[in-house]
A and B are shown apart, each in its own frame.
Chain A
Amino acid sequence: MGLRTIHLKLHNPSTVKRDIINAAFINYNNAFNYLLKNAYENIASIERDYQSPRGTYSSLTLSKWIDRGLSDDINKFDIQPFKDSLKLDIGMVLASYFVQKKTNPNMPFPSFKADDAAGQLKFRPIYFCRYDVKRCFCFLYDAANNKYFAKIFLMNSKNAKVRFNNTFNRELQYISKKQPEVKGLKKETFIIVPLSFGKWQEGMLRQAVDKPEILRTSRLIMKGNEYFISLSIDLPEDEKIKPATYLGISRGIKNALNYTVADMDGEIIDSGAIGLEELSLSKDLKTNNCILANKIAEIAINNKSVVVLQNLVEKGDKLSWNEDGINYKPIFGCKRYNDLVRILEYKIPQRGLPAPVKVSSVDIFSRCRLCGSNTKKNRFSKNMFICTTCGASYDIDGLGSSNLAVKLIKYQRTPLKIKARKTEKGMLLQNELIGLNLIVPFNENPFDKLMAEVKRISEGVCYDADKADSKDVSSINGLNSIYTANTMINKLVKHNFTNIEII
């Protein structure tokens, strides 16, 4: 994580610079199509020869398919400044094609155009595979005016432009570790264009000034008459935050989303609704989801929370309600909630918190937070929950998020299930996980016997943990099982053997 993409606009390039950029796009696209056409004609041999022994494909390996002859061939398109990048771009396209072909044998080969790209309105972005002050692209910084510039290598030496005056009217510095002097050349294969962007992007560029190594690859994109640099930037993750609470985020009928913050003991610290104000900010669903995700991340940061989300992929949450012939549905459908989950999955770790956890949500609107009773009879109306076992009542929307917030705590408290069967010799107690297989004669105290046996097993498990392959540890196989068994035994001892459920 930490790799982000930001878009920076080339600010009002002059006509001359526009012509240079346009020419570069035509050259790049012609060369790309030429290579792709060649690849298509040789696809079988490429697929066979460039596959790794494990059956995988790498972009770098596939880029080597372009041999010296073919490499010389494409010089006719004047693509020398970005030839390496172009090869890698082709490698990435082919790798992606081969991977998809594995799951879908009818996968069509990527489309390419045989005609000259000159008349096209839409161009493939030009890929720059490295950040470098002497090739591909780099940035310049005018510290006095806090301005940023892009230096993009778009021409070969043949097409290089002559500079009549090699001094700049502002003091520029390379955003680079070495920071060589910025000076004009008599013949230049690059253009320097000012950049425009928002505050968010500026914050990242500011970090790049101090740590240039975070600048990675980029693509030059043409959108109508405007040009953008799509920059990959490897920002360091925020400082790791040690979680102190759980934050449950559930969808709702009254509110789009509901949140509950619970401490590590399951006590509710804070709760509320998110959505109604945020949803009115933008008509674009994606933008709205991003706004909501930011809001959730903010709550998570403020409370140092592990974010717990609904898993709505396979099973639903039975939140819809039919009353007087009207079917009430959640404001957020499954798809929209899942879209939000995907955003949170990268936004939350970026802020230094653990990745969100998705849990089953089949019972979150029917399980009593107080006594744990889970029955659909507990749902009293569209918005009301009244427990039929203990009488506790909750607003349905809030109940969902509060049940999510304590779900992980409940998982931790899950009792160890022990099978108990009567046999002729006595009571047979079994648990495969910890390797328990104990017969307690009817006249003996099973609790004492069980404690003694678990102690014996725990000594055996600990001893064998280092030599899992060579020792017999009853039904426990492998280190993972031993780790789990140890964890379970530790939980048993910690809870003084009260967390046992006899089945």
Chain B
Amino acid sequence: MSLYIDVNYESINKYKEELCGDKVEIIRSSDSVVVVLADGLGSGVKANILATLTSKIIGTIMSNGLDIDEAVNTIASTLPVCKERKLAYSTFSIVQIFNDGQGYLVEFDNPSVIRLRKGKPLDISTESRVISGKLIHESRFTVFPEDLFVMISDGVIHAGIGKTLNLGWQWNNVCEYLQKTYKKDLSSKAVAKLLVSACDSLYSNEPGDDTTVVALKAKKPDKLSLMIGPPIDSARDAEIVNRFIGREGKKVVCGGTTSQIVSRVLDREIKTSIEYFNPSVPPTAEIEGINLTTEGVLTLRNTLELLKTCTSPESTMSDFLKLNKKDGASKLAKVLLEESTSIYFFVGQAMNPAHQNPEFPLNMGLKFKLVEEIAALLRQSGKHISIEYC
């Protein structure tokens, strides 16, 4: 079994603090992904330093194959001691998931990691032991596709205390909320964003503590091939289209001429689809066997804007909800960001006659730039990206 782990996190700082006292480290290696959530003692600069050191040390040690004892010993001997509290302290949670499905969890004083399988809560039985005077909870388990792990800092379960909720919402409430919000196609980014949004709202937008949510979603790799622009050598049309159609996974065609080429080579009719009207985004079309057929540069430009918005640290849940719209750009952004783990771009280099019109505001260079920017954003989100210019 080969798994792709979709990992994302969201944090909000304690009200009026410039730095977050929670720190997340995600380290991907060829055989596993290690995620560390560290919550430094207090808030502000001191907490940020403690959390950063903790997460960096643990992340580096674990991803290099050393054990947790080594990591905890190192932290115990290197963390700076707080002058006021005479303590060197940072809580942490570690989740390591190997590509073959083996999982490893370590927790120290953080709220327990929530695990959902197909939307239902699943207990993680842990064993406890003391390392360098710290009580550590450990667990080893097997991860299956659609398993969702949610790591939270204590700011999450304190949300709303004394404000909207008398006692805050407890771990059970958070777990219940995650069950209620569970959807099979919800990305880890959306899960983290949603839970943090809820906490922020419960804090009345004035968080009483640094609040962090890390979501890990195990998926079977979802492959996507995207063809944009006609090949430079029209003699290669059939070859390129056949290679494109022969690839595993979902297929997306962008561009009017490109879709006509695909339609001609495959001998399948193009039908204009009407699901949504947005004057700024041209309508989509349908070709049998192609999951999405859109117009070219205008749609790509809107897609890029949507991806930028959604991947920005300042993005809100309502930005994510825009991906559910039915116009071509929203659909393309959703399929790229939320429904694919590995994306292969076929970028045709032929000159589009329509772009020769001096009144047309876009040029070929812009098309390549759009593709590169989109690819870069997707790489940042942990997707495997390949681009073939043809």
Q: Which single residue of chain A is at the shortest CB-CB distance from B279? A: A496
Instruction: Please indicate the chain B residues that have their CB under 8 angstroms from the CB of A502 in the complex.
Output: 274-277, 326
Does A442 touch B at the CB level, under 8 Å? yes
Instruction: Please indicate the chain B residues that have their CB under 8 angstroms from the CB of A422 in the complex.
Output: 271
Chain A 364-389, CB within 8 Å of chain B: the 1/0 string? 00000011000001001000101111
B38 to chain A, nearest CB (A): 24
Q: Nearest 5 CB-CB pairs, A to B?
A: A391-B197, A391-B198, A393-B201, A390-B317, A388-B181
Q: Tell me the residues in window 384-413 of chain A with beta carbons closer than 8 Å to chain B beta carbons.
A: 384, 386-393, 395
For this complex, into which size category does the number of interface residues on chain B fall? 20 to 34
Contact of A393 among B193, B202, B275 (CB under 8 A): B202
Chain B 159-203, CB within 8 Å of chain A: the 1/0 string? 010001100000001000100110000000000011111111110
Instruction: Please indicate the chain B residues that have their CB under 8 angstroms from the CB of A440 in the complex.
Output: 272, 274
Contact of A446 among B173, B272, B326 (CB under 8 A): B272
Chain A 275-295, CB within 8 Å of chain B: the 1/0 string? 000000000000000000000
Contact of A447 among B177, B181, B271, B283 (CB under 8 A): B283
Does B298 touch A at the CB level, under 8 Å? no
Instruction: Please indicate the chain A residues that have their CB under 8 angstroms from the CB of B194 in the complex.
Output: 389-391
Q: Which single residue of chain A is at the shortest CB-CB distance from B176? A: A380
Q: Are A386 and B270 in contact (CB under 8 A)?
A: no
Instruction: Please indicate the chain A residues that have their CB under 8 angstroms from the CB of B326 in the complex.
Output: 502
Complex Cα distance A392/B181, Å?
A: 13
Contact of B164 among A388, A395, A498 (CB under 8 A): A395
Q: Are B270 and A443 in contact (CB under 8 A)?
A: yes
> What is the interface size of chain A, counting residues whose CB is below 8 A from a CB of the partner?
31
Instruction: Please indicate the chain B residues that have their CB under 8 angstroms from the CB of A443 in the complex.
Output: 270, 272
Q: Tell me whether A445 and B282 are in contact in the complex, defined as CB-CB below 8 angstroms, given that A384-B164, A498-B277 are known contacts.
A: yes
Q: Are A498 and B278 in contact (CB under 8 A)?
A: yes
Assuming A389-B181, A446-B283, what are 16 further A-B pairs, CB within 8 angstroms? Answer: A377-B180, A380-B173, A387-B198, A391-B317, A393-B201, A420-B275, A422-B271, A442-B271, A443-B270, A446-B274, A450-B277, A496-B279, A498-B277, A498-B279, A500-B277, A502-B275
Instruction: Please indicate the chain B residues that have their CB under 8 angstroms from the CB of A380 in the complex.
Output: 173, 177
Instruction: Please indicate the chain B residues that have their CB under 8 angstroms from the CB of A427 in the complex.
Output: 272, 274
Does A429 touch B at the CB level, under 8 Å? yes
Q: Tell me the residues in window 476-497 of chain A with beta carbons closer than 8 Å to chain B beta carbons.
A: 496-497
Complex Cα distance A370/B274, Å?
A: 27
Instruction: Please indicate the chain B residues that have their CB under 8 angstroms from the CB of A391 in the complex.
Output: 193-201, 317
A373 to chain B, nearest CB (A): 9
Q: Which single residue of chain A is at the shortest CB-CB distance from B202? A: A393
Q: Are A447 and B277 in contact (CB under 8 A)?
A: yes
Q: Which single residue of chain A is at the shortest CB-CB distance from B160? A: A393
Does A239 touch B at the CB level, under 8 Å? no
Does A323 touch B at the CB level, under 8 Å? no
Chain B 107-139, CB within 8 Å of chain A: the 1/0 string? 000000000000000000000000000000000
A367 to chain B, nearest CB (A): 15
Complex Cα distance A392/B204, Å?
A: 10
Does A444 touch B at the CB level, under 8 Å? yes
Q: Tell me the residues in window 123-178 of chain A with beta carbons closer than 8 Å to chain B beta carbons.
A: none
Q: Which single residue of chain A is at the shortest CB-CB distance from B277? A: A500
Q: Tell me whether A497 and B271 are in contact in the complex, defined as CB-CB below 8 angstroms, given that A377-B180, A393-B198 are known contacts.
A: no
